[in-house]
Amino acid sequence: MATAATYTSTCSHFETATFILPDLVNDCHYPLRLNPDCYPVSRASEQWLLHGAHLAEPRATNFIGLHAGELTAACYPDADAFHLRVCSDFMNWLFNMDDWLDEFDVDSTWGMRECCMSAFRDPINSQTEKLSGKMCKSYFSRFMQTGGPGCTERFIHTMDLFFIAVAKQADDRAKGHIPDLESYITIRRDTSGCKPCFALIEYAALIDLPDKVMSHPVIMAMEEATNDLVTWSNDIFSYNVEQSRRDTHNMIVVLMREQGLNLQGAVDYVGRLCKGSIQRFEDNRDILPSWGEELDRQVAIYIEGLQNWIVGSLHWSFDSTRYFGKNGHTIKQDRIIKLLPKRPL
């Protein structure tokens, strides 16, 4: 297989026109499993979102190519159909919300936060005319039928962190501000939306881990390593689409600016960080404490859920059309990305 060096040494024009993805899929050796209810649940959830969000073309077609249901089925492979559907509805809603918020200013983002957080706190009785709020009420009222109190509070709290971080991102976007690497990593852990997805691991498995487990430094370190892998690999996979629309909320942009790296150098740097995050995950797995037989059984389920997120997100990124169009399977093999032209100002 051709290496990055082969291509970048060919000529300077080629170097700026393409880059090579790090081989993150083959660096990850966790088994990929798919929920047996994947396809019927995915298709039903897509129809729920299309109806609830009133998506018009070309967004409707782009949404169908997202395949968020397949990501959900890989991340929650043991969930029953009811719980998988709630997770899938949330995932479809979250991706759609992410796209909406990309176009929002700070005030509009705070308004969306207020609407959605009210729906989470009281999905039965809260009133809203916003489509996003109505969809929140739909999936979260079903979540609350079986979600434990700790899991429920973790979901609500981390969704609030998501909206707060996205508002900061909107402020940066309006001011043309690119944060330093340390600040970017901190905010990206919340804009990723991974944290509420981790609460869904408990929900889907019908467990509710106590605070003494969830606040333990080893558990928190494994969550952070998972979040970092999912998020930083996403920054690599989404970079081409984002640079074409001049979006700068991406670690590659931050590194090129802060450390003076060229594009391939920044991509390779993030790739090494991704590999290191998997090693962090494993290092902490090795020092997991024991909380007794029953809690250890539940913790093992949760850790496997984090592992499923690592491997599931990597493979899904090439199956979805969100980042690579219809070329995902080819790019998964040769890892060559041709830069899209920038959208006119």
pLDDT in tens, 87-114: 999 999 999 999 999 889 999 999 999 9
Mean pLDDT of the chain: 93
8 Å CB contact between 252 and 239: yes
Residue 4 has pLDDT above 60, yes or no: no
Helix 263-285 with 251-259: angle, nearest 10 deg: 120
pLDDT in tens, 120-162: 999 999 999 999 999 999 999 999 999 999 999 999 999 999 9
> pTM, whole model, 2 decimals?
0.93
pLDDT in tens, 236-274: 999 999 999 988 899 999 999 999 999 999 999 999 999
8 Å CB contact between 152 and 222: no
pLDDT band at 345 (very low <50, low <70, confident <90, very high): confident
Is 1 buried (19+), middle (13-18) or exposed (0-12) by CB count in 10 A?
A: exposed
8 Å CB contact between 335 and 20: yes
Residue 15 has pLDDT above 80, yes or no: no
Q: What is the mean pLDDT of residues 71-80?
A: 98
The rounded percent of the chain whose pLDDT value lies above 90 is: 90
Residue 321 has pLDDT above 60, yes or no: yes
DSSP 37-56: THHHHHHHHHHHHHHHHT--
Residue 11 has pLDDT above 90, yes or no: no
**Alpha-carbon gap, residue 324 to 267, rounded angstroms:** 16
Following CA atoms 184, 189, 334, 315 in sequence, which dihedral angle do they give, to the nearest 10 degrees?
-170
Q: Say which residues have a Cβ less than 8 Å from residue 279's Cβ, sequence separation at least 6.
A: none
**Alpha-carbon gap, residue 97 to 106, rounded angstroms:** 15
pLDDT band at 297 (very low <50, low <70, confident <90, very high): very high
Q: What is the mean pLDDT of residues 60-87?
A: 97
pLDDT at 16: 62
Q: What is the mean pLDDT of residues 315-336?
A: 97
pLDDT at 102: 86
pLDDT band at 329 (very low <50, low <70, confident <90, very high): very high
pLDDT band at 6 (very low <50, low <70, confident <90, very high): very low
pLDDT in tens, 164-213: 999 999 999 899 899 999 999 999 999 999 999 999 999 999 999 999 99
pLDDT at 309: 98
**Alpha-carbon gap, residue 296 to 219, rounded angstroms:** 12
The rounded percent of the chain whose pLDDT value lies above 70 is: 95
**Alpha-carbon gap, residue 196 to 264, rounded angstroms:** 32
Answer with the residue of higher pLDDT: 214 or 2.
Answer: 214
Q: What is the mean pLDDT of residues 6-20?
A: 54
Burial 30-56 (b: 16+ CB within 10 A, else e): beebebebbeebbeebbebbbebbebe
